[in-house]
Amino acid sequence: MSRPSRDSPRVLLVQIRQPDDPMGAHELGCVTRRVGDDVALSSRNIFEESPTQAWLDECDGMILGGSGDYSVHDPRSAPWVNQLRRLLDLVLDQSHPTFGICFGHQLLAYHLGAPVNTDANHAELGTTTVDLTDEGRNDPVFGRYPNTFHVHTGHSDHVSETPKELVLLASNAALETQAFRVKGASFYSTQFHPDLCGIEAMDRYVAYHRSLRPLEDDQAPPSNLFRPNLDESATLIRQFLDKFAFNTG
């Protein structure tokens, strides 16, 4: 296995998980595999430190991860959500290459004025497909994918509309707002999880199924809702980084 050199591209994973949450290490491992072993990946946790300009200065590209237990619209989350929104102001002002995943996707839309709601009618759990919009088919990152491709999902919150500052790239029958690109900036986001392969998504679900209670009746859904080897979206993060952060795409 190759090791990052001193001149390797640098990526920062911003985590929104309690420091003792074992899924923090799980997420870091999954993102490590998605970005590639030639990349110098570091992480910072919003529950351990407040974001500053230094977070952007130390990386070529940033990933805003999922949260597992937290909702962007929950008033109890406001203190650290507001800190992340100040980080987003820096990212958007500087067009710093950034990719938001699940919570990161919702945070971006919420920051730009879109409602984020908890609604079982738009919740998803398991492996499903998304369809590219016209803009997605012509996008330099998403346009490399088939018009319909598989993704792994797990969310009970969702973005209810597309803010005017965003371009809608992918949708499906359960949820229109599956993927965004910020107009005029190198910032993408997805409601689904391109950080996970099917086996990893199953592991994440087992850890967090209680926070997905709106999806459940008396018992958790079967873990075989996640289908291994349907991992087309697992290349998405690296393709984004190659195009916008590493200038190799």
For position 90, what pLDDT does the model report? 98
- The amino acid sitting at 241 is L
- The amino acid sitting at 39 is V
Q: What percent of the chain has pLDDT over 70?
A: 91
For position 205, what pLDDT does the model report? 81
Give the HSE-up count for residue 201: Cα atoms under 13 Å, Cβ half-sphere: 31
Q: What percent of the chain has pLDDT over 90?
A: 76
Region 6-33: mean pLDDT is: 92
Asked if residues 30 and 63 have their Cβ atoms less than 8 Å apart, the reply is: no
Region 43-49: mean pLDDT is: 97
- Which residue from 88, 94, 93, 95 is spatially nearest to 109, judged by alpha carbons? 88
| pLDDT at 165 > cutoff 70 | yes
Label residue 119 by pLDDT band (50, 70, 90).
confident
- Which residue from 81, 77, 179, 177 is spatially nearest to 137, judged by alpha carbons? 179
Region 7-27: mean pLDDT is: 93
Q: CA 11, CA 174: separation in Å to the nearest integer?
A: 32
- pLDDT tens per residue, range 204-236: 887 766 554 444 444 555 557 899 999 999 999
Instruction: Calculate the CA 220 to chain-centre distance.
Output: 24
Give the burial class of 248: count Cβ atoms within 10 A of its Cβ; 0-12 exposed, 13-18 middle, 19 or more buried: exposed
- pLDDT tens per residue, range 54-109: 999 999 999 999 987 788 998 988 999 999 999 999 999 999 999 999 999 999 99
Instruction: Tell me the whole-structure pTM to 2 decimals.
Output: 0.92
| pLDDT at 6 > cutoff 60 | no
Between 78-82, 165-169, 187-191, the lowest mean confidence (pLDDT) is in 78-82
Region 41-64: mean pLDDT is: 97
